[in-house]
C-alpha cells in the first residue's frame, strides 16, 4: 500500500499546474491536420461509402492527451501490465480520479466514463484499437494513420468505425507497443517488425516513410493450435490430402508451401509440421516466431535486430540457417525464405537434412521455382542459373500452393511434385488441383465453392510410400483425365 501511495504522489507531482487542466473545460482540442480522405459524396459516386466514425469528444480527447504522461511515474511504468488485469486497471482509475478531483474539472458521468476507458486503453493496451485487439473474431488489424482502420474477419477486410484522436495518439500507441519489446521506433529506425507476447505479429512504419501517418499492422493468431482436422472441417483441404501430406512428412520429403500474403501459409506450415515424429530433433527459424509445434524436441530460433544505435547483435534468417546445421537437426523448418538464405536452405536439404519445410511468396509452383532462383542469386555467389535449378530440382520434392479465394476462404489450390530436370528446365507434375464443378481448364480456380481433386497422375514418390509400409486411401490419385 505504501509503494502505491508513493507512486500516486509521484504522479501527482507531475501536474504542471491545476490551472492548465482547468483550461481544458470548454476548450476544444486543436484540430489535427486533415488527412487526404475522399468525402462520402465522392466515395458514393465510386460505389463505396466509409462507415460513420466513432470519435472521442474534443474535451475528452484533450484531457486524454494531457493526462496520459501525468499518470505515469516513469514512461515504462505500465509496460508489463495488461488492460485485461482488473488490478492494473484499478490503479489507473484511482490515479485518474485523484487528478480530476484536484484539478476541479467538471465532467458529466458519460464524459468521465469515456475518459476513464480511454486512459486505461492508452496506458495498458493498444489505445483506440484495444477493442479490436480483444475481439477474437478479427484476425488482422490495419491502422493506416489516425483516420482509417481496417480489420479482417473470416478472410474479409472491412473498414471499422474506430479512429485515433490524431497522429500523436497513434504514435503514443506505437511506442506503447514497441517499448516492452525492447525495440526502437524513431526517426533513426522508422520501421519495426516484432512479435507481441501473445504470439501476434506487429509491423509499424512511421513518417516520413508512412505518408498517411503511422501505420500499424497486427496479425493475430488463434489461441487454440489448429490441427489438420480443423482445416479439413474448414474446407481448406480434404482428409485424403491430409493423409497424403502426413505420408510425405513421414518419408522425409522436402516441402515448400507457397502462396500470397495473408493466404494462410504459416498456418498450413504449422499443421504440416505437426506430422513430424516426436523422436526427431526439429529446429524452427523465423523472423517473428509464429509456429507452434507440439512436439517435445523443438528448438525455436528467431531473428534479432541490431542493438539500438549500432550495427552489432543482429542475426538474420541466413545466419540462423547456417548456425542450425551445427545443432544436429533432423529437420529444419524455416518460417519464410525471402533472401539469400534460400541457397543455404537448399544446401541443407541436399546434405542430409531431408524432411525440411519452408514457405515462399509466389502465385503458383512454377512462380515459386522462379522466386527461389532469384533468392538464390541474392546469396552473393556467382552461380549459373542452370546450377541453381539443378539444386532446386534435387532438394525440393513438393510444392503446396495456398491461396485466399475470392470469398475470403483460405484453401490449398494445388499440390505439385518436382519430378526432376528435363534439359535446363525443372519438370513439375500436379497431383491435386482445386477446381469448380464443370471446370475444364488445367489451372486451379480462385472461386469459392470448388473442391481439391486428384489429377489422376500417380506421383513418383508413391513407390516410397509402399516401401515405408504407408497405406493411403484407395483411389486417392483418381482416374487419369488428361483433358481436365
* Dihedral (Cα; 281, 282, 285, 286), 10-degree rounding: -140
Walk along the chain (484 residues) and give the pLDDT tens digit of each residue. 444 444 444 444 444 444 555 555 544 444 444 444 444 444 445 678 889 999 999 999 999 999 888 888 888 888 888 888 889 899 989 989 888 888 888 889 999 999 999 999 999 999 999 999 998 889 899 999 999 999 998 888 999 999 999 999 999 999 999 998 888 899 988 999 888 877 788 999 999 999 999 999 999 877 778 899 999 999 999 999 999 999 999 999 999 999 998 888 989 999 999 999 999 999 999 887 888 888 999 999 988 877 766 778 889 898 999 899 889 999 999 988 888 889 988 988 887 788 999 999 999 999 999 999 999 998 888 888 999 999 999 999 999 999 999 888 899 999 999 999 998 899 999 999 999 988 888 889 988 889 999 999 999 989 899 889 999 988 899 875 544 4
- Could you check whether the bond before residue 332 is cis, i.e. omega within 30 degrees of 0? no
Domains and CATH numbers, the chain: 2-219 (3.30.450.90), 228-467 (3.40.50.300)
CB count, 10 Å around CB of 228?
20
Residues forming a β-bridge with 332: 283
Q: Which 3 state secondary structure label does DSSP give 286?
A: strand
The H-or-E segment that residue 259 falls in is: strand 255-259
CB count, 10 Å around CB of 320?
22
If you count them, how many residues does the chain have?
Answer: 484
CB-CB contact of 282 with 298 (8 Å):
yes
Can you tell me the distance from the alpha carbon of 434 to that of 432, in angstroms, rounded to the nearest whole number?
7
Can you tell me the distance from the alpha carbon of 384 to that of 390, in angstroms, rounded to the nearest whole number?
10
Report the chain's terminal Cα–Cα distance, integer Å: 75
Amino acid at each position: 500500500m505504501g509503494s502505491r501511495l508513493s507512486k500516486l504522489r509521484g504522479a501527482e507531482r507531475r501536474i504542471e499546474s491545476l490551472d492548465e487542466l482547468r483550461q481544458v473545460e470548454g476548450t476544444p482540442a486543436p484540430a489535427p491536420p486533415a488527412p487526404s480522405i475522399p468525402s462520402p459524396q465522392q466515395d458514393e459516386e465510386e460505389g463505396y461509402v466509409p462507415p460513420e466514425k466513432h470519435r472521442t469528444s474534443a474535451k475528452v480527447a484533450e484531457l486524454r492527451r494531457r493526462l496520459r504522461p501525468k499518470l505515469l511515474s516513469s514512461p515504462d511504468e505500465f509496460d508489463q501490465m495488461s488492460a485485461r488485469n482488473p488490478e492494473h486497471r484499478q490503479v489507473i482509475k484511482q490515479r485518474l480520479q485523484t487528478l480530476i478531483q484536484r484539478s476541479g474539472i467538471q465532467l458529466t458521468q458519460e464524459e468521465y466514463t469515456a475518459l476513464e476507458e480511454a486512459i486505461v486503453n492508452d496506458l495498458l493496451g493498444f489505445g483506440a484499437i484495444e477493442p479490436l485487439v480483444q475481439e477474437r473474431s478479427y484476425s488482422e488489424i490495419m491502422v493506416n494513420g489516425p483516420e482509417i482502420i481496417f480489420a479482417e474477419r473470416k478472410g474479409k477486410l472491412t473498414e471499422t468505425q474506430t479512429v485515433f484522436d490524431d497522429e500523436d495518439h497513434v504514435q503514443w500507441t506505437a511506442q506503447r507497443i514497441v517499448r516492452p519489446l525492447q525495440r526502437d521506433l524513431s526517426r533513426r529506425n522508422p520501421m519495426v517488425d516484432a512479435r507481441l507476447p501473445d504470439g501476434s505479429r506487429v509491423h509499424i512504419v512511421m513518417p516520413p516513410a508512412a505518408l498517411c501517418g503511422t501505420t500499424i499492422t497486427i496479425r493475430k493468431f488463434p489461441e487454440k493450435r489448429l490441427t489438420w482436422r480443423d482445416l479439413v472441417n474448414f474446407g481448406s483441404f480434404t482428409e485424403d490430402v491430409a493423409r497424403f501430406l502426413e505420408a510425405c512428412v513421414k518419408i522425409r520429403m522436402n516441402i515448400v508451401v507457397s502462396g500470397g500474403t495473408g493466404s494462410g501459409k504459416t498456418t498450413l506450415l504449422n499443421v504440416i509440421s505437426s506430422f513430424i515424429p516426436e523422436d526427431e530433433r526439429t529446429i524452427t527459424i523465423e523472423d517473428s516466431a509464429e509456429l507452434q509445434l507440439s512436439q517435445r524436441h523443438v528448438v525455436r530460433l528467431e531473428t534479432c535486430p541490431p542493438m539500438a544505435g549500432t550495427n552489432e547483435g543482429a542475426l538474420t534468417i541466413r545466419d540462423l540457417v547456417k548456425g542450425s546445421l551445427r545443432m544436429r537437426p533432423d529437420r529444419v523448418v524455416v518460417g519464410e525464405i525471402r533472401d539469400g538464405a534460400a541457397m543455404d536452405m537448399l544446401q541443407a536439404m541436399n546434405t542430409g537434412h531431408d524432411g525440411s519445410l519452408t514457405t515462399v511468396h509466389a502465385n503458383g509452383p512454377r512462380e515459386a521455382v522462379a522466386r527461389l532462383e532469384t533468392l538464390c542469386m541474392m546469396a552473393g555467389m556467382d552461380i549459373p542459373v542452370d546450377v541453381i535449378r539443378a539444386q532446386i530440382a534435387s532438394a525440393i520434392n513438393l510444392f503446396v500452393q495456398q491461396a485466399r479465394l475470392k470469398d475470403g476462404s483460405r484453401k490449398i489450390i494445388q499440390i505439385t511434385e518436382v519430378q526432376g530436370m528435363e534439359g535446363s528446365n525443372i519438370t513439375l507434375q500436379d497431383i491435386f488441383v482445386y477446381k469448380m464443378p464443370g471446370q475444364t481448364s488445367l489451372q486451379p480456380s480462385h472461386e469459392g465453392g470448388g473442391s481439391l481433386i486428384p489429377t489422376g497422375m500417380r506421383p513418383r514418390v508413391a513407390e516410397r510410400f509402399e516401401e515405408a509400409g504407408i497405406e493411403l486411401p484407395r483411389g486417392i490419385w483418381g482416374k487419369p483425365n488428361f483433358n481436365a
